[in-house]
Amino acid sequence: MTGRRLLAAVAAVALVAVAAIVVAAIALSDSDGGGRATTAPSGGGASTINEIYRREGPSVYFVQARGSEGAGTGTAWLYDDKGHLVTNEHVISAGTEVALRVGDNKLVPAKIVGEDASTDLAVLEADRSALRDADPLRLGDASKVYVGQPVVAIGNPFGLVDTVTSGIVSAKQRVLQAPNGYPIANVIQADAAINPGNSGGPLLDMNGRVIGVNSQIATGGAQQSAGIGFAVPIDTVKDVAQQLIEHGRVDRAFLGVSSVALTPDLARELGLNRDSGALVLEVAPGGPAARAGLHGAQAGGSEGALIAGGDVIVAIDGQDVTGPDDIARAIGAKKPGATAKVTYVRAGSEHTVAIELTAQASG
């Protein structure tokens, strides 16, 4: 099989292994939970779940999008004092008409400021005066999130608006695929109950600060939570939201390679003298890696099987690379125009080359 087909096969295996992970975006009912007190408690420091719900909940909204390609529903939350809101891209991707449910079933129109499928994030804008006098949610710091940390999620699972759930951070540094296949790095895993309709809602720490945007769930094959949810980290949200607000798009650094984790079996099959790293399958023509001289794998034979391995990327900026996820993290942390020092192995010899990264447009 060709390098492209091998990559697809490997991706298919990976998808089978994580088949429980689905994007939580399905049509929901229009029922309204309501019944929330909006008086904020006094005092500072860590809060109870009820205090967080009462204080931060009014800034979280049921969002619905309709268009010729279908409909989507989920959750959005107030990001700043100008009426900008954050949600998931997959929640509003099918719609051209977007509205927020505010208070007693009042629908407030919202426009799409920008969307970025590569991080599954979107920014909306609504009339600030119509958003029930809510305050923007405070933003936390994803770098300070720790495993075992208590967290709270507010959203609209299955159309049950104004729902709160709680749990702990189960893991950090996960890498997930966005709806367009782009890897999202540094994802937070939590066991707070997240279901379809929570998509786009805030994951909060016990001070009521947003540490992530709930985006995907593990379901075990059913369209409901299996106790594992995934949130795009707030540090990514800050960066993407700012670019969407200012430019309507996100320009991210682009290396221009597709790769697969090198295993001992694959290395032995290809006659490589190394059994770890990211095996380059394809190099985007004219891209930064191609201009730097990196090589992809060679295919041949009657079925297009790989007959020779490509370069094996083993480090970026001195940090070890064991597979595509490490490349995604390293490149994703950079801006277009930045330089990445890529160390790779070819024919048993190690080389390091400085590669100037270009922009890959949002989408």
Whole-number Å distance between alpha carbons of 124 and 87? 8
Q: Just list the catalytic residues.
A: 90, 120, 199
The b-or-e profile of 72-102 (16+ CB within 10 A means b, else e) is: bbbbbbbbbeebbbbbbbbbbbebeebbbbb
Fold of 12-23+46-247: Thrombin, subunit H (2.40.10)
Look at residue 53 in the predicted model and tell me its pLDDT. Answer: 97
Q: Looking at the domain 252-361, which fold is it?
A: Pdz3 Domain (2.30.42)
Task: Report which DSSP code applies to 54.
Answer: H
Q: Residue 206 carries which side chain, given as an amino acid letter? A: M
Nearest to 34 by CA among 129, 96, 130, 101: 101
* pLDDT by 10s per residue, the chain, length 363: 444 333 333 333 333 333 333 333 333 333 333 344 333 333 346 899 999 999 999 999 999 999 887 889 999 999 999 999 999 999 999 888 999 999 877 899 999 999 999 899 999 999 999 997 899 999 999 999 999 999 999 999 998 999 999 999 999 988 888 888 788 888 999 999 999 999 999 999 999 999 999 999 876 655 555 679 999 999 999 999 999 999 999 988 889 998 889 989 888 888 888 888 999 989 999 999 999 999 998 765 555 555 566 899 999 999 999 988 889 889 988 889 999 999 999 988 999 999 999 987 554
Entry pTM? 0.73
Distance between the two ends of the chain, CA-based, in angstroms? Answer: 29
Cα-Cα-Cα-Cα dihedral of 175, 177, 182, 184, to 10°?
Answer: -30
d(Cα 90, Cα 25) in Å, to the nearest integer? 7
**For residue 146, which of 170, 176, 174, 175 has the smallest C-alpha distance?**
170
The residue ranges of every structural domain in the chain are 12-23+46-247, 252-361
pLDDT score of 6: 37
